[in-house]
Structure 1
């Protein structure tokens, strides 16, 4: 168990501190602006288009005297503008239903509500007891099998936010098996991000980055497949090591409060221990719903609006089954109450999404065609790549993307912002664009496991009842291990002239 010392601040406090830092930067760093262009690339036979910045067009926004303009953010702005104190509201309402803040907030709340209904039926609890009874002596297989499946999901179709829903199901199971909530987060969300970071075919990650960087889409697959196997293997080994330690001695767990919460919620007095027809129908509905979601993502590129509706449908059908079969004595009102309680549990995670987006808004937004402090930071950092030896330049790309991911968590958004800068500069530095793409995907994907601005991470931690401060204490060493492994693969890629 971690030593007691200085208490980690609440996630809201941490993000507020970053907002303060961002506000100060607007007084110190001048604003810059890029021109943009449409880039078209072939993605598995389909023509995709993305708006990207043109690095050679960067210029400072100037004032009346011709000097670079430092437009420090004001304390408050009316009429929908962004002042320092506006960051919460403006962050929450930014974007659209396809992503950014407002879409992700709705997605998190709907998922929470849907699973609130499912959990109200107690069918999952009954299923957990059945699984425990059937897997006695083979419980340890759950960790490697689940980790592998979720890592594969991240690699093949960019699984991320979907892990929130699976965490709601699996965390009570792993706790019932003697592990802890941290283990549940590792085999769901962390596994997806390892797959995402080391993917050879993720349509929302490596495919977009390669297209924007003028690299043949889905090229370099053999190297990346080996990389995925290594990263996934290390992740499984680390998770098994930690989980086994917790099972032997529960006091070693980093999440005792969360563990106690889930144990208290699994009230055995309300569970018969008999897996009946109604329970089986709820679980079947969930299973078929997951198949439907995977089919939609892979075949038709379903994203946040469609997946949220799919989960809502699953929850609604499960609720109707619960009422018809009187599971846990459910009534129609219990469907509504279950949805409300489930959404309420993930409300803090949804708020964090808006707060995190507020950081970028304070810096002027992530539109390269609009004057902002973020544009200047991107241009200044990108210019360092061409003045270093090859190995150092490639390593800097990895570090650069890891830092930028704190501010712009969206992989496709980062690709449009940073790769038009990094790709041509990597040519000058003697680093192949394929290596630059590798540094991007590893820096982007792996830091999703730790940055509090990641909506998917905070949603999963909310489902797990684990605070970000607690998570940071646990994940920090593993994060260093992953970044060391990433650096090793980037250096190998440079040495073999990966292209």
Structure 2
């Protein structure tokens, strides 16, 4: 009996604990993995020249010409640099060198946590503004009134909401790589999903899982496939047919899986992977929602919800066409919030209290982002990321075409853990990995696909990516998420492997 009680009392570590242990492991890796560095090339927009930074040497300036790029064996169009398409430093092929070891110590753990939080301040401000906005809208009763109206209209067809959200996220992922921006949808959609009879993990599936599957099979996403193609020296339209086919197959898998899971939960709530936490979820997200209460859906409440909904297409437009990033997105949401405050009918103290309470509920989420950035800082400052890339490139070099591309897929799965940024990994790895495809006689766009599919298979789980932020926001244990998402990772890798092998057989020599 005592043993059984001990088993029941065990709870999986929180996101903070997981990331803290990963930070310790990262520090340990700086003592195990040799430090090394590639020379990096950047374009100086002001002076219109290339600057090459090599470790331990003064910066060198070169004319911004195609000849310079050819000398460094960088097969990227000059216009990609001069027009600002590629802004981050490009690793120069064949320039890797071992350097003195950059050990990190115990004293660096708290420092990296603080520095990572400072680096993530733009994302954190966005999240605080979002939380404050939701707090104000909640105080007006608009969400509750809208929830009741939605529940009445969708009775018997609840999955249409899941389907619609999933399709939107798939499209958002494949076109603009919606990831961090998706955190804005959770606080409002979780109560909706719970009111429809689903659980909180279905919300993560419809938003994070669908968006990530869309991003994995990016078609025109400028932050992954476009920048990776440019860094590989090819047009992003090369291979788009296979990526579109993958998107369709991956999307069908996600929607089919959510339909199956949702049907099971609706039939038997105890089937839910988060069943034991259901009461906590309901108290947290529906504490102000009484299904038996009558809340009038007034014109004012409808107008507030319309303004809230308008903030999202405005954000997506800004990211895709306006060059926005988190400061601009936060300012946009804050502008909508101010308008909502003015028409809310609330007293000044109610407005201030509801905004600060809403923002305070997302403090933990913001700190998770900072801690994850701290892990990345340790790996960067320890100078081991380039060493891992060099080792991986040598590992797959010279393999037969089919083994080479599957090896690339595995390599990018691992690199996705080390470098969770899609654009960062693209400019770091593509100039090194893409030329290896030439040696085995296959097109470079196949390597770009392997990068996309491998990296995102890891980002479904990578603690240094966005997943822990999402889980912390919804208070879902990491082990429950792993159980839920593993079938979809298997689908992604199976679809990706088959499509890669088909491409190699069609276009390989």
Within 5 Å, give how 1:158-173 maps onto structure 2. Answer: 158-173=177-192
CA RMSD for the aligned pairs?
2.4
3-state DSSP class of the match of 2:93? strand
Normalised TM-score (structure 1): 0.87
Task: Quote the residue 2:105 is aligned against.
Answer: 74
Task: Quote the residue 2:54 is aligned against.
Answer: none
- 2:113 equivalent to 1:84: no
Task: Quote the residue 1:64 is aligned against.
Answer: none
3-state DSSP class of the match of 1:436? helix
Alpha-carbon distance in structure 1 between the residues aligned to 2:307 and 2:186: 17
- 2:9 equivalent to 1:8: no
Within 5 Å, give how 1:41-120 maps onto structure 2. Answer: 48-50=85-87, 51-61=89-99, 69-76=100-107, 83-94=108-119, 101-120=120-139
Q: 1:360 to 1:263 in 2, by over 3 A?
A: closer
Contact (CA 8 Å) 2:136, 2:341: kept in 1 or not? yes
Within 5 Å, give how 1:180-195 maps onto structure 2. Answer: 180-195=199-214
Contact (CA 8 Å) 1:40, 1:49: kept in 2 or not? no
Q: 1:34 to 1:146 in 2, by over 3 A?
A: same
The structural deviation recorded for 1:177 is: 0.6
3-state DSSP class of the match of 2:38? strand
Q: Structure 1 regions of 5+ residues with no counterpart?
A: 62-68, 77-82, 95-100, 325-329, 366-370
- 2:498 equivalent to 1:485: no
Alpha-carbon distance in structure 1 between the residues aligned to 2:291 and 2:211: 35
Q: Structure 2 regions of 5+ residues with no counterpart?
A: 1-6, 43-75
Task: Quote the residue 2:505 is aligned against.
Answer: 495
Alpha-carbon distance in structure 2 between the residues aligned to 1:269 and 1:140: 19
Contact (CA 8 Å) 2:36, 2:386: kept in 1 or not? yes
Task: Quote the residue 1:345 is aligned against.
Answer: 361
Alpha-carbon distance in structure 1 between the residues aligned to 2:231 and 2:323: 19
Q: 1:396 to 1:122 in 2, by over 3 A?
A: farther
The structural deviation recorded for 1:425 is: 1.7
Task: Quote the residue 2:55 is aligned against.
Answer: none
Alpha-carbon distance in structure 2 between the residues aligned to 1:240 and 1:498: 38
Contact (CA 8 Å) 1:126, 1:271: kept in 2 or not? no
Alpha-carbon distance in structure 2 between the residues aligned to 1:349 and 1:108: 8
Normalised TM-score (structure 2): 0.85
Alpha-carbon distance in structure 1 between the residues aligned to 2:487 and 2:222: 30
3-state DSSP class of the match of 2:238? coil
Task: Quote the residue 1:237 is aligned against.
Answer: 256
Contact (CA 8 Å) 1:394, 1:436: kept in 2 or not? yes
Q: Deviations over 1:258-290 (max 9, x none)?
A: 542343324318953321111101111112222
Within 5 Å, give how 1:5-404 maps onto structure 2. Answer: 7-38=11-42, 40=77, 48-50=85-87, 51-61=89-99, 69-76=100-107, 83-94=108-119, 101-256=120-275, 259-264=278-283, 265-268=287-290, 272-322=294-344, 324=345, 330-365=346-381, 372-404=383-415
Q: Deviations over 1:172-211 (max 9, x none)?
A: 1111010110111111121111111102111111110000
Alpha-carbon distance in structure 1 between the residues aligned to 2:40 and 2:104: 25
3-state DSSP class of the match of 1:37? strand
Contact (CA 8 Å) 1:359, 1:407: kept in 2 or not? no
